Structures are given as C-alpha cells and as structure tokens.
Amino acid sequence: MLDKFALLGVPQGFDEPPGIDEKFRELSRKMHPDRVPPKQRVKAAGQMTALNDAYKTLKDPVRRAEHFLTLKGFSGEVKMSPEFLQQTLDDREELDEAKASGKPLQDLARSVREKRDQTLAQVREIVTKNGDLEKAAELLARMKYYARYLDEVEGREAEV
C-alpha cells in the first residue's frame, strides 16, 4: 500500500497535514511531465497521477481518515448497524416527502450536517486514542452516506 502522506512528504495524521498545499505545488513543479526529458515523460506522468491522487485523498477528511485507518492496519469489511440503516431509510423518506410537498430542505440539510460533524469528531477521538478501528471505519461509511444525502439536498452531482 502506497503511503500517500509519505508521497507528499507530510506527517501522517487524522487532520489535514500542515503545509500540504505548498508541498503539492512544489512536487508538482518538479514532477510535471513537461519539465522532464522526453524519455522520462511516461514515468513522470505516472508519478503525477499518483501525486494528484494522494493530494485529493489527503485534502478530503473522509478519504484521509480511511487511508489513515488502512495504514494503521484496518482492512476489514465494514458492517453497518441496523439502527443506522433504519435511520437512513427514515431520512430518505423524510427527504422524499419534503421534496414532494415543496418544503424547504435547509432544516434537513442542517440536521445531516450536524450528524456528519458529530460523526467526524467521533472518528477523530477513536483514531487519536488508538481505539476500535472497525468502529471508526463504520463511522466513516456513515460519513459517505451523509455526503451523498447533502449532495442530493443541495442539488450537486454525487462524487464517485
């Protein structure tokens, strides 16, 4: 497994590494295929792809946390609790009803943002205390649900 923190030369951690933007720009300038001899361009293009992926991963709180968990040794399957799955069905039903009735969706979005923020705080606590990585992974899966829900409420295309 490629350590995306190491690739960018930043310390591993749950939070966004300090100086990541500057490191990315610096490395991009050095590795860009247009800045190397023609024989090295294919290799440089591969390195740029890896660098761009690492940057995108480490800039996103959920992707960064997932990568961090993987580096810490978690590779298991995530199992969602039945209570959370029921909550997702209830949330979806409430959203569909609000859309059908023309009700404003801001309150629904606010509620899900609060759940998202609380969940991210829980993951931070688990990870920083070297706690249950399986629980942290489940919470991160919840974060993906919250992101898709907010994308729908706010009319954005869901990111794949």
Q: pLDDT per residue over 5-49, tens digit each?
A: 999 999 998 889 999 999 999 999 888 888 888 898 899 899 999
Same domain, 87 and 147: yes
Q: 57 pLDDT exceeds 90?
A: yes
Task: Establish if 131 belongs to a structural domain.
Answer: yes
Whether residue 19 is contained in a domain is answered as yes
Over the Cα atoms of the chain, what is R_g? 19
55 and 102 assigned to the same domain: no
89 pLDDT band (50/70/90 cuts)? very high
The pTM of this model reads: 0.78
Mark whether 89 and 143 lie in a shared domain: yes
Burial 119-140 (b: 16+ CB within 10 A, else e): bbeebbebbeeeeebeebbbbb
Residues 53 and 94 in one domain: no
Report which of 103, 104, 98, 92 is spatially closest to residue 146, judged by C-alpha positions.
92
Q: Are residues 93 and 149 in the same domain?
A: yes
Per-residue pLDDT at 70 exceeds 80: yes
List the domain range (segments joined by +) for residue 14. 4-59
**What's the domain count of the chain?**
2
Do both 96 and 149 map to the same domain?
yes
Same domain, 98 and 39: no
In a domain, 95, yes or no: yes
Question: Does residue 65 lie within any of the structural domains?
Answer: no
The rounded mean pLDDT for the chain is 89
138 and 86 belong to one structural domain: yes
Query: In this structure, is residue 74 part of a structural domain?
Result: no
Average pLDDT over residues 130-134: 85
